Amino acid sequence: MSNWIKLLASFIFLTLVFSSHKPLEVAAEEPNMTSNVLHLTKNEVKYNLDELYAGEEILQDKDIETVVTWNTLKNVRYEERPDPIYRLVHKPIYGKTVRELEDKTIQIKGFIIPITSNTYALSKNPFAACFFCGQAGPETVMGIQFRKLKEKLKTDMFVTLKGKFILNYDNPDDWMYHIIDAEIIEIK
């Protein structure tokens, strides 16, 4: 009889577990939504990337040579090349518009992604849709070296940075782009 009680208890447990879960709901299409709106789960924030990246030029000051958009940084292709450690790597071949930015002071907007307790990356997309999660390419993220960081930054803070733009031609273990001597101009 104890097997019968165990079977009944298992059945009741499984019934309770599966009946407490609601089926996944497909969200109805919201009016006026563009393809640049990132929808996360029901309780998470919706990011309207067009709205966040609007007005790229308004913060420009005399120390900034160029306001850069992530669209500009897409001007890159990859070429397979032999590598002594990894055998074969995809090295970036930067387009002319990206090469012209090298060593210039730029301004760029993006989402902060903490890498370690004191190193950060800047991403075109929030963490849930960034390069690491397969929603974009390596050209949508860059390493940041801050000149002086006064506060700890949190994941997905939307910031405008100013700093010197550096390209990575050869190191497959590093970011394709860097912004060094970076300063935060604005946090949204």
Query: In 3-state terms, what secondary structure has residue 154?
Result: coil
Of the two residues 32 and 111, the one the predictor is more confident about is 111
The answer to whether residue 9 scores a pLDDT higher than 70 is: no
> What are the pLDDT digits (tens) for 23-65?
433 344 444 444 444 444 444 445 555 665 565 444 445 555 6
> What are the pLDDT digits (tens) for 86-103?
999 999 999 999 999 999
Fold for domain 53-187? Answer: OB fold (Dihydrolipoamide Acetyltransferase, E2P) (2.40.50)
Listed by start position, the domains of the chain span 53-187
- Please tell me the predicted confidence (pLDDT) of residue 170: 87
What is the rounded average pLDDT for all residues in the chain? 76
Which position has the token pair 């005399």? 62
Residue 48 amino acid letter: N
- Name 174's Cβ contacts closer than 8 Å, sequence gap at least 6: 143, 168
- Please tell me the predicted confidence (pLDDT) of residue 55: 56
